[in-house]
């Protein structure tokens, strides 16, 4: 029995999320369109392993020692290898279970797919549309999804006569008994395609690369997932497609940092702006905006620009705020004239006399110095 855990490179205790991540990694690594046609069998092994380990019932069967992908294991069912009803059905052809096994439908639904999409912070602020290219299973254009080279419908299997199973007599310690197994001629479908498609080999679908326009909701955050109905794998022989799940990743911006629906940025201003006040412009996601640096602005002071943040997800279109953090640049080199002016200003302000501000019972804050006292200390 194949070791599906080893195929995906995970431990037997792996969680569903770990199995999904491993599958995405392996499927990209061994996809024939990427790795080459010589890896097609390896790609099929990866898909078979994921088909079992991603289904809780099939994984439970596999852990109990039964391979759900083995046609001879089909009679055990999802409840494990010791289901008595299934055992009677295995030996007596359904006589004790109220009827024989049914043929496996040739038309099967496609599986869901999960892909990641990275968007810019600007796109997260306003929303938009972004293209995503991914590998999946699509309709075989050669046979138009029928699986038949001549487009003809499947015919009844002459070996099992449409039941999908054949009965055999086996010798046991209890004597001769009748057992039922999937028909090897039609693989349990009850029908056969007389002339299978040369491209898809009768499955009606092929590996392909698809490009879709993904709607990015305004206010999307890192790790958010959305569903695109019908954009997953196409089912076999015309089966309905699965869904596509998009996991969003928001790329870090060079200028702005996001905190919830607020945006934060840091700007550095000359000390003269901080003392006298100044009007400047700031490049935002909404274009240039006027920023008023108030007179007496302190290092670390925050200025809020209302409504220039991220759009509230699923709301009325309102947005968070843009918070500007002010950093004051204190010059590190002064000529004699500049030093004299700073010293004279400090004497006029009597900063030395006001170096200690009484702050009641706050001893740490009581040691805070005035702005120009800090400047004088920096040049001492």
pLDDT in tens, the chain (380 residues): 788 888 899 888 888 888 988 888 888 788 776 777 788 888 888 888 888 898 888 888 888 777 877 765 544 433 344 444 444 444 444 433 334 468 889 888 999 999 999 999 999 999 999 999 999 999 999 999 999 999 899 999 999 989 988 887 777 666 677 778 888 888 889 999 999 999 999 999 999 999 999 999 999 999 999 999 999 999 998 889 999 999 999 999 999 999 999 999 999 999 999 999 999 999 999 999 999 999 999 999 999 999 999 999 988 889 999 999 999 998 888 899 988 988 888 888 775 554 444 444 343 333 444 454 555 554 44
pLDDT value at residue 318: 94
pLDDT value at residue 240: 92
Q: What is the CA radius of gyration of the chain?
A: 35
Annotated binding residue at 237?
Answer: no
Domain 257-379 superfamily per CATH: Urease metallochaperone UreE, N-terminal domain (2.60.260.20)
- For domain 100-250, which architecture applies? Ribbon (2.10)
Per DSSP, helices labelled H in the chain are 4-8, 16-30, 32-35, 40-53, 56-63, 84-92, 121-126, 271-276, 336-349, 371-379
Per DSSP, helices labelled H in 257-309 are 271-276
Annotated binding residue at 183?
Answer: yes
Question: CA–CA separation, 349 vs 275, rounded Å?
Answer: 13
pLDDT value at residue 87: 45
Annotated binding residue at 265?
Answer: no
What is the domain partition of the chain in residue ranges? 1-82, 100-250, 257-379
Report yes or no: 80 and 87 within 8 Å, Cβ to Cβ. Answer: no
pLDDT value at residue 137: 94
CATH number for the region 1-82 comes to: 1.10.287.110
Q: Which residue has the tokens 């369109």?
A: 33
Strands 322-329 and 262-270: parallel
pTM as predicted: 0.60
Annotated binding residue at 143?
Answer: yes
For residue 365, CA distances in Å to 103, 301, 328 come to: 82, 17, 20
Chain center to CA of 235: 22
pLDDT value at residue 352: 52
Question: CA–CA separation, 155 vs 157, rounded Å?
Answer: 6
Cβ-Cβ contacts under 8 Å for 24 (sequence gap 6 or more): 114
Annotated binding residue at 297?
Answer: no
pLDDT value at residue 149: 93
pLDDT value at residue 379: 47
- Of 339, 226, 329, 344, nearest to 273 by C-alpha is 329
For residue 98, CA distances in Å to 76, 101, 166, 178, 188 come to: 16, 10, 17, 16, 19
């Amino acid at each position: 029995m194949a070791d599906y855990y080893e195929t995906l490179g995970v431990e037997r205790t792996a969680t569903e999320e770990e199995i999904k991540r491993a599958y995405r990694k392996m499927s990209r690594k061994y996809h024939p369109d990427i790795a080459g046609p010589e890896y097609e069998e390896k790609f099929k092994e990866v898909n078979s392993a994921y088909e079992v380990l991603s289904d809780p019932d099939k994984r439970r069967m596999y852990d109990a020692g039964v391979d759900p992908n083995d046609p001879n294991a089909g009679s055990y069912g999802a409840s494990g290898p010791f289901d008595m009803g299934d055992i009677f059905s295995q030996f007596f052809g359904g006589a004790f279970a109220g009827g024989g096994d049914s043929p496996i439908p040739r038309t099967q639904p496609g599986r869901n797919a999960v892909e990641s999409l990275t968007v810019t912070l600007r796109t997260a602020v306003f929303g938009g549309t972004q293209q995503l290219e991914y590998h999946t299973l699509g309709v075989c254009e050669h046979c138009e999804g029928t699986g038949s080279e001549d487009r003809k419908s499947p015919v009844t299997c002459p070996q099992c006569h449409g039941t999908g199973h054949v009965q055999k007599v086996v010798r046991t310690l209890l004597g001769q008994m009748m057992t039922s197994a999937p028909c090897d001629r039609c693989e349990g479908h009850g029908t056969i395609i007389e002339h299978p498609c040369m491209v898809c080999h009768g499955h009606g679908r092929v590996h392909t690369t698809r490009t879709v326009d993904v709607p990015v909701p305004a206010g999307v955050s890192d790790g958010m997932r959305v569903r695109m109905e019908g954009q997953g794998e196409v089912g076999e022989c015309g089966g309905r497609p699965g869904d596509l799940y998009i996991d969003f990743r928001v790329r870090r911006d060079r200028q702005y940092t996001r905190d919830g629906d607020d945006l934060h940025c840091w700007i550095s201003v000359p000390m003269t702006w901080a003392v006298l006040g100044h009007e400047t412009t700031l490049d935002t996601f909404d274009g240039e905006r006027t920023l008023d640096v108030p007179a007496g602005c302190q290092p670390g002071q925050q200025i809020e620009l209302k409504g220039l943040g991220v759009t509230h997800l699923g709301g009325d279109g309102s947005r968070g705020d843009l918070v500007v953090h002010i950093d004051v640049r204190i010059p590190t080199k002064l000529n004699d004239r500049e030093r004299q002016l700073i010293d004279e200003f400090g004497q006029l302000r009597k900063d030395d006399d006001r170096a200690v501000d009484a702050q009641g019972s706050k001893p740490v804050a009581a040691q805070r110095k005035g702005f120009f006292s800090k400047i004088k200390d920096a040049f001492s």
